[in-house]
Chains A and B, each alone.
Chain A
Amino acid sequence: MDTLTETIPASKTETKKTVKEKTAQPYWNPYFSGIGLGLVLLAAFVIMGRGLGASGAFSTVVAVGVNTIAPHHAEGNTFYQGYLSDGVSPFKNWLVFEVLGLIVGGFISGALAGRVKKMTEKSAHISFNKRYMFAFIGGALMGIGAKLARGCTSGQALTGGALLNVGSWIFMLMVFAGAYAAAYFVRRQWL
């Protein structure tokens, strides 16, 4: 009888321990991650003669979607036509493959650090539905802004920043200006 009562609490603490081991590891030092990111960007310059990107791949998805549903409509629009090439599949595109790698790379890093988990990023002050609405609105603004500026944080700010591209530096300063200016109005979402 004695042994039985002792083994039960022991096994309970054991399950608690395994739960604790699964907690996420801390992020890397930002300067260290930045050097890694910079070397990836440098590799893209040296190997390909181009930088990184992200929003372009989503433009391909949108252009193909519009072209599938309403081919005549897409035909008359030079924006969509820019992402639709004759003969070859539009998905056989450098940025599309790079973004597929980006997703895989993000997953590998997250999985190795125990950070892959179904969750929503928000403060305790707003509801889940509100957060999803803000994420959608922010994403839509991001899509419009990125297309207007011919690139997003990757293709313009990061890539063009390193190339000392005039338009990219204008863009980058305005990104920080816009985000700081709007931050006050959405503070409850984050703080």
Chain B
Amino acid sequence: MNAPLFKFGLFGNEVSLIVAFIIGIGFGFFLERAGFGSARKLAAQFYFRDMAVFKVMFTAIITAMLGLFYLSWIGWVDLSQVYLVPTNVWPDLLGGLILGVGFVIGGYCPGTSCVAGATGKVDGYWFILGLVFGIFAFGEAYPWISDFYNSSYMGQITLPQLFNISYGVLVFVVVLIALGGFLLAEKVEKYFAKKDAEAAR
């Protein structure tokens, strides 16, 4: 098998849009199944009441990461053909920070707000309006911030390349960190459930 299939010309642009729609359905389905159409469920992560955001995200990351690692190992997927967003250290750092603050204030992220809207959450619609406004504000400010936006450019670079260690070793380390994180998340949830029960008494 030669994959990514699209990059090896198995189908064209028109078909890729149908693929996009079907993949989107899967994406939205599992987000909603996880409870990510609910702002209270998502925000609970940041009060240690429900660590589902961390658990779902890292389970998804290690599933896709391991799948891609093995598929490239047996030679089915050409990793160089999988698109990597280039790294710009400071914009990535500041953007992440602003987005994190927005996450706990707004209760959603762009993807989950779509699921919230689709399942009738009125606050989800307001979030989407805010999102559109924020992107517009960024667009209007772009001529003035484009220097910063393009600063600290490192190109398309992965953690194994940065630390100069093998892909397999790094995959293994990330799996270990995630498993440790899951154990910790379970403990934290139990601790706060107990604390809340005592406070309610």
A49 and B106 contacting across the interface, CB-CB below 8 Å:
no
B59 and A105 contacting across the interface, CB-CB below 8 Å:
no
- Specify which chain B residues have a CB less than 8 angstroms from the CB of A175 in the assembled complex: 96-97, 99-100, 103
B133 and A136 contacting across the interface, CB-CB below 8 Å:
yes
Contacts known (A36-B33, A179-B104); A164 close to B57, Cβ less than 8 A: no
Residue of B nearest to A173 (CB): B96
Q: How far is the CA of A49 from the CA of B47 in the complex (A)?
A: 36
- Specify which chain A residues have a CB less than 8 angstroms from the CB of B183 in the assembled complex: none
Instruction: Decide if A161 is an interface residue (CB 8 Å cutoff).
Output: yes
Q: How far is the CA of A55 from the CA of B108 in the complex (A)?
A: 12
Residue of A nearest to B149 (CB): A148
Encode A25-36 as 1/0 by CB contact (under 8 A) with B: 001101101111
A154 and B82 contacting across the interface, CB-CB below 8 Å:
no
- Specify which chain B residues have a CB less than 8 angstroms from the CB of A33 in the assembled complex: 30-31, 33-35, 56, 59
- Specify which chain B residues have a CB less than 8 angstroms from the CB of A105 in the assembled complex: 24-32
- Specify which chain A residues have a CB less than 8 angstroms from the CB of B31 in the assembled complex: 33, 37, 102, 105-106, 109
Q: B21 to chain A: closest CB distance in Å?
A: 4
Encode B21-51 as 1/0 by CB contact (under 8 A) with A: 1111111111111110111110111110101
Q: How far is the CA of A19 from the CA of B7 in the complex (A)?
A: 51
Please report which residues of chain A, range 73-105, place their CB below 8 angstroms from some CB of chain B when the two chains form the complex. 77-80, 92, 94-105
Within 8 Å by CB of A42, from B67, B116, B120, lies B67
A136 and B130 contacting across the interface, CB-CB below 8 Å:
yes
Q: Which of B24, B76, B92 lies at the interface centre, i.e. has the most chain A CB atoms within 10 A of its CB?
A: B24
Contacts known (A98-B23, A101-B28, A132-B123); A171 close to B95, Cβ less than 8 A: yes
Q: How far is the CA of A98 from the CA of B136 in the complex (A)?
A: 21
Q: Which of B43, B85, B123 lies at the interface centre, i.e. has the most chain A CB atoms within 10 A of its CB?
A: B85
Within 8 Å by CB of A182, from B19, B91, B100, lies B100
Please report which residues of chain B, range 76-102, place their CB below 8 angstroms from some CB of chain A when the two chains form the complex. 76-77, 81-89, 91-102
Q: A168 to chain B: closest CB distance in Å?
A: 7
Q: How far is the CA of A35 from the CA of B161 in the complex (A)?
A: 27
- Number of inter-chain CB pairs below 8 Å: 540
Residue of A nearest to B102 (CB): A141
A141 and B101 contacting across the interface, CB-CB below 8 Å:
yes
Please report which residues of chain A, range 124-141, place their CB below 8 angstroms from some CB of chain B when the two chains form the complex. 128, 131-141
Q: B117 to chain A: closest CB distance in Å?
A: 7
Q: How far is the CA of A142 from the CA of B110 in the complex (A)?
A: 8
- Specify which chain B residues have a CB less than 8 angstroms from the CB of A52 in the assembled complex: 23, 27, 111
Q: How far is the CA of A66 from the CA of B154 in the complex (A)?
A: 31
Instruction: Decide if B188 is an interface residue (CB 8 Å cutoff).
Output: no
Residue of A nearest to B79 (CB): A163
Please report which residues of chain B, range 123-137, place their CB below 8 angstroms from some CB of chain A when the two chains form the complex. 123-124, 126-137
Q: How far is the CA of A113 from the CA of B67 in the complex (A)?
A: 29
Contacts known (A139-B134, A140-B137); A179 close to B103, Cβ less than 8 A: yes
A132 and B100 contacting across the interface, CB-CB below 8 Å:
no
Contacts known (A139-B113, A143-B132); A162 close to B107, Cβ less than 8 A: no
Q: A183 to chain B: closest CB distance in Å?
A: 4
Q: How far is the CA of A153 from the CA of B120 in the complex (A)?
A: 22
B100 and A177 contacting across the interface, CB-CB below 8 Å:
yes
- Specify which chain A residues have a CB less than 8 angstroms from the CB of B33 in the assembled complex: 27-28, 33, 36, 109, 113
Contacts known (A36-B33, A103-B28, A160-B84); A146 close to B123, Cβ less than 8 A: no
